[in-house]
Structure 1
């Protein structure tokens, strides 16, 4: 389908060799940095694994970054830039982008497989030929985090490759986007950003930066491939360029801000006057220069955009090369200001015991959940404003509930509760119950999907699907039906408590910042899914009768109480190795603190449940009232129809 807007002039067919040449330009930057850096391993007291390992790992890592970016970006292009679906299936432009993603994902599998032995050799200071011995390779992978990260990349790339080669549906492409973006992150959270002082800030910033930069570069490659395939009789319309410009502008802002934050945290002010700081400055300048093609494309969208896009891709490739080069260098702050044990584990020191003032005012802004909370509140308020300007009403209690829910998330992760949750089990349990029980209850009462369906404009008859149609497709997808299964939601909601705290999983997760963030994300999502089915304003895939919702709620309540009681009576300290190694001077008896956490879980778990019961009973009463009014109206209509029938019979007799 084509839009009614004027389409751009047919682009010149640029030589196909330009794309490999751009990739080689980025690779040249990586190899130049490795050559000029010299023996960086000696700075950390490691042995030099040799030139083959250093240059080989730089090449493989850059190739993996490029392949992952093209995979993720092409899938985003197919799902949200190209006119992607017709009756749920891929259109021509989207299908071409998915095929590009399939080839890129296959290459991603190959280079991720190579990255495992190269990264193992790099972190262990051994020549890569030593990794040809399976025993040496397995022992090195077991002892180091980065090779494990590349195994995760390999698994994600393999899944995305299979999805891309065998899918024709739009919803499967969206699933591929999620898996591909997840596959980009393991090397980031296992690299330099994951250790040292402030690594919580650096890791959170890179969790925004890497997906944004990768989607930008990959969608640009997909757009250039689309332009190359285009002919005068079948050229891409203005919608594709307009959507790409919006996407690239968003990625430019996110990648620029998050990259600057991560670079400053890792380098610190003293490290800006070093070779690491020089390379970081070049990366920042390249990102700033990338703003020029982004804004030029908006002005020249109706002209020939090929040269602008190629220039943009070249700058992105060089910027990616500098970023890959930074991962090879040792940040100066690692040597000048060695981190303490607490900073290595948490990213900061917890020298003072928690106090009321410290918990309320000792804020350490969480760049992941804090930014997400602000974006969610602003987007919701913009949707409400659009409804009000259109003359439609939206209940104020839903606005208050949604904003309050995200404020609760912000307080639980960014106030003093957030930092101290990593140091004391009792404080962690307050954060857990807040994110899992209180915040989701408030969020589901906000009805965000209902608001979006009312606020977003519907695509016209002759226009491709837009955000509203994408949301409808996702809400009716098979994944939504699986996630919205009441039995599965209840098991995940309750079972997470027992699986996390009564196994070694909690102790392992507390060692890594990314695992702690993933744990918090799971708390929010598990609680949101469960309470969405019980009291949510948004309609679930399989709506339950109110009596079944009440029974579902009462079925899980005893398990929460049992969990708190078990914690209070447990004689073994959970995650004892982590807390002993953290060795906080004010921690006191760990078992006593754990029993306090059990009491918090038992007491605070009941309060949100009371709120849920009240909300459910109120919804039930309103539903019965609406049903009674409907029956009354139906009865009046039937009575009027009966009188009309009698009158008609009387007329016939006369």
Structure 2
């Protein structure tokens, strides 16, 4: 409650300083709407962070039962007694989700009032125009989506407690970052989708970091008091275990927040002179507070966590957590004020004047030549963040393993480099214009990148460096164990991959992938995951039973050949031309005609697909999956 009050006070002061609540000369919605919107935005942002943080703690950091070990020994009644920390986290998520729903509805209404310049009223005309705002305009659609997500999450927090359902609810809460980012200031920059991607990364980091600290404050009494129970991890008190695990997660979130914040600031400020505006001064205040939070987090990790058992250090550690939450609430207040303040770089997107801009949001790229495959880049900050985190986590695992084949590390890093190239360079840029380029992009995501990543043996590295938890909490390794049986059936994974390619290209889904940024991102992630499952089932199956090498190679050859043939059939356009309205209306003045381009796609897939498939068979012949990867002795 104190955090909500503090955030409200800070947003009021920041909005007054920046002039965001000043009376307008035209289309003024009235003092109530001008002052209420930034305040309600602050309440909304803090509420969604608290809900997401509490759900994240419930699914990944807190034991669901008071004493899981005792339950395993047969004490069913004690096993069924929920842990008080878990109960507090879910109760808080349920209560604050109600605040989230009402604040989301209020933001939706007040946003329309501010954009239209009409005072909030209960008239029929206002209600009719509000419906139009929520169904036909991008800003209204985004906030209507937030309202729907908030209502769904609120309902689920009261109804579900199973691990899978809670994970789905947590991801749904975190997905709020997408519609919020679609209407943020950075999204209005010249490179719209780069701004959206940077904002999504920023908001995901904020929700994990701020929400996690808020959840930590909520569950502290249940972690340190007499109700904490006997839950330990390798003899380590539960409070220390939870704080250590969250500290690692918060460190990743801090770097995502700060790095994406720098990118967003560059997009909104334009140049150094933008820092001297009131908008820029608020940016500097926000950056300084973020660095201070990073320093406090470092103090936690280096000093406080190891001394939690002592009374004085324990009090200092929890006081630091409360101070963190206060600073974070203040930052959210500044953020809400920034959202209502005009940035130095105008937010309005210039109207599209070419067919390519209308369809893709970008000018038609120059004619594709051999050198353009390497020189055309457009940074997608979602995938940049994904690659950076994946590389850092893998390298930390290699460091912990101490002895690890360099070939595996090289394969993993090469796979990430290819992933970055495919998502941020010519394959994606020209994939929106040429069907042949799009088919190459999808083939690389579904075959080549997963092959390189699987040869890096990440699951074996996890088995060696991450111990299974004994406190009833499902961590990364436990969730991998849940899906591991699906990695034992190469034929099933090949069918799923082949069917997915057919569904994308020969259903209306292909148009959605081309037209909508979020569908494009989800499709890329989906094919990367499905390809990873297929390659894992072929190269390093997890069935636990020995498979003869010749049988494994024969199975891989049959499946790889069938998949390649199917990809050629899809790309070559045996069926009618795919999405002619999109590719014909691009007004492209260079390159082959649309029909010829689709026929050339089959040849390009054959050439580009033969190499990774041949590499797969070669790697399978040379690859020797370790018979046993011993887990570390520590269970923390």
How does the TM-score come out when normalised to structure 2? 0.78
- Quick one: distance in 2 between partners of 1:38 and 1:485? 64
Asked if 1:564 corresponds to 2:571, the answer is yes
Structure 1 residues 336 and 563: alpha-carbon distance in aligned structure 2, compared to 1, 3 A threshold? closer
60-69 or 552-561, which deviates more = 552-561
Partner of 2:38: 58
SS of the equivalent of 1:28 reads helix
How far does the alpha carbon of each residue in 1:99-142 deviate from its partner, in whole angstroms, 9 at most, with x for none? 22222233323333444444445555555446876653443333
Asked if 1:261 corresponds to 2:253, the answer is no
Whether the aligned pair in 1 keeps the contact of 2:209 and 2:250 (CA below 8 Å) is: yes
Structure 1 residues 548 and 49: alpha-carbon distance in aligned structure 2, compared to 1, 3 A threshold? farther
Whether the aligned pair in 2 keeps the contact of 1:48 and 1:126 (CA below 8 Å) is: yes
Structure 1 residues 493 and 542: alpha-carbon distance in aligned structure 2, compared to 1, 3 A threshold? farther
Whether the aligned pair in 2 keeps the contact of 1:160 and 1:180 (CA below 8 Å) is: yes
Partner of 2:92: 100
- Quick one: distance in 2 between partners of 1:187 and 1:519? 21
Partner of 2:297: 294
80-89 or 134-143, which deviates more = 80-89
Asked if 1:223 corresponds to 2:226, the answer is no
- Quick one: distance in 2 between partners of 1:39 and 1:496? 54
Residue 320 of structure 1 and its aligned partner are, at CA, apart by 0.9
Whether the aligned pair in 2 keeps the contact of 1:201 and 1:265 (CA below 8 Å) is: no
How far does the alpha carbon of each residue in 1:495-540 deviate from its partner, in whole angstroms, 9 at most, with x for none? 433433344444444344444333322331232233333x142526
Partner of 2:345: 333
Whether the aligned pair in 1 keeps the contact of 2:11 and 2:333 (CA below 8 Å) is: yes
- Quick one: distance in 2 between partners of 1:587 and 1:196? 30
508-517 or 200-209, which deviates more = 508-517
Q: How does 1:245-256 map to 2 (within 5 A)?
A: 245-256=247-258
216-225 or 49-58, which deviates more = 49-58
Partner of 2:231: none
Residue 337 of structure 1 and its aligned partner are, at CA, apart by 9.5
Q: How does 1:114-125 map to 2 (within 5 A)?
A: 114-123=106-115
Q: How does 1:123-138 map to 2 (within 5 A)?
A: 123=115, 126-129=118-121, 135-138=128-131
Q: How does 1:474-553 map to 2 (within 5 A)?
A: 474-477=479-482, 489-490=493-494, 492-533=496-537, 535-537=538-540, 539=542
Structure 1 residues 53 and 343: alpha-carbon distance in aligned structure 2, compared to 1, 3 A threshold? farther
Residue 74 of structure 1 and its aligned partner are, at CA, apart by 1.3
Residue 474 of structure 1 and its aligned partner are, at CA, apart by 0.6
Partner of 1:421: 431
Residue 413 of structure 1 and its aligned partner are, at CA, apart by 2.2
- Quick one: distance in 2 between partners of 1:493 and 1:523? 8
- Quick one: distance in 2 between partners of 1:550 and 1:430? 21
Partner of 1:185: 178
Whether the aligned pair in 2 keeps the contact of 1:30 and 1:62 (CA below 8 Å) is: no
Residue 188 of structure 1 and its aligned partner are, at CA, apart by 0.9
Whether the aligned pair in 1 keeps the contact of 2:224 and 2:239 (CA below 8 Å) is: no
How far does the alpha carbon of each residue in 1:422-481 deviate from its partner, in whole angstroms, 9 at most, with x for none? 44433333222211221112222332112111122455x7xx468xx623321233x666
- Quick one: distance in 1 between partners of 2:406 and 2:347? 54
SS of the equivalent of 2:419 reads helix
- Quick one: distance in 2 between partners of 1:155 and 1:65? 15
Residue 570 of structure 1 and its aligned partner are, at CA, apart by 1.7
How does the TM-score come out when normalised to structure 1? 0.77
Structure 1 residues 569 and 604: alpha-carbon distance in aligned structure 2, compared to 1, 3 A threshold? farther
Structure 1 residues 386 and 119: alpha-carbon distance in aligned structure 2, compared to 1, 3 A threshold? same
Residue 30 of structure 1 and its aligned partner are, at CA, apart by 6.5
Partner of 1:110: 102
The structure whose RCO (Cα within 8 Å, separation 6+) is larger is 2
Partner of 2:329: 317
Q: How does 1:330-409 map to 2 (within 5 A)?
A: 330-334=342-346, 349=363, 352-389=366-403, 394=404, 397-409=407-419
Whether the aligned pair in 2 keeps the contact of 1:49 and 1:128 (CA below 8 Å) is: yes
How far does the alpha carbon of each residue in 1:602-639 deviate from its partner, in whole angstroms, 9 at most, with x for none? 553454444445656778xx89xx9xxxxxxxxxxxxx
Whether the aligned pair in 2 keeps the contact of 1:33 and 1:325 (CA below 8 Å) is: no
Structure 1 residues 383 and 246: alpha-carbon distance in aligned structure 2, compared to 1, 3 A threshold? closer
Structure number with greater Rg is: 1
- Quick one: distance in 1 between partners of 2:164 and 2:63? 14
Residue 451 of structure 2: which of 441, 444, 447 is its match? 441
Structure 1 residues 430 and 50: alpha-carbon distance in aligned structure 2, compared to 1, 3 A threshold? farther
How far does the alpha carbon of each residue in 1:563-622 deviate from its partner, in whole angstroms, 9 at most, with x for none? 123268528615248x53xx5664674454444345434553454444445656778xx8
- Quick one: distance in 1 between partners of 2:592 and 2:254? 48
Residue 67 of structure 1: which of 44, 47, 57 is its match? 47
Whether the aligned pair in 2 keeps the contact of 1:121 and 1:131 (CA below 8 Å) is: no
Which ranges of structure 2 fall in alignment gaps of 5 or more residues?
Answer: 73-78, 229-237, 306-312, 628-636
Residue 319 of structure 1 and its aligned partner are, at CA, apart by 0.9
Whether the aligned pair in 2 keeps the contact of 1:120 and 1:140 (CA below 8 Å) is: yes
Structure 1 residues 499 and 191: alpha-carbon distance in aligned structure 2, compared to 1, 3 A threshold? farther
Asked if 1:238 corresponds to 2:213, the answer is no
Residue 152 of structure 1: which of 142, 145, 155 is its match? 145
Asked if 1:596 corresponds to 2:600, the answer is yes
Residue 219 of structure 1 and its aligned partner are, at CA, apart by 1.6
Asked if 1:21 corresponds to 2:33, the answer is no
Whether the aligned pair in 1 keeps the contact of 2:4 and 2:43 (CA below 8 Å) is: no
Asked if 1:164 corresponds to 2:176, the answer is no
SS of the equivalent of 1:353 reads coil
- Quick one: distance in 1 between partners of 2:134 and 2:494? 37
SS of the equivalent of 1:288 reads helix
307-316 or 165-174, which deviates more = 165-174
- Quick one: distance in 2 between partners of 1:476 and 1:295? 32
Residue 262 of structure 1 and its aligned partner are, at CA, apart by 0.9
Residue 460 of structure 2: which of 450, 466, 475 is its match? 450
- Quick one: distance in 2 between partners of 1:568 and 1:94? 54
- Quick one: distance in 2 between partners of 1:481 and 1:576? 41
Whether the aligned pair in 1 keeps the contact of 2:439 and 2:601 (CA below 8 Å) is: yes
Whether the aligned pair in 2 keeps the contact of 1:383 and 1:455 (CA below 8 Å) is: yes
Structure 1 residues 30 and 109: alpha-carbon distance in aligned structure 2, compared to 1, 3 A threshold? farther
Partner of 2:169: 176
Partner of 2:278: 275
Structure 1 residues 124 and 613: alpha-carbon distance in aligned structure 2, compared to 1, 3 A threshold? farther
Question: CA-atom RMSD, angstroms?
Answer: 4.0
- Quick one: distance in 2 between partners of 1:538 and 1:483? 6
600-609 or 176-185, which deviates more = 600-609
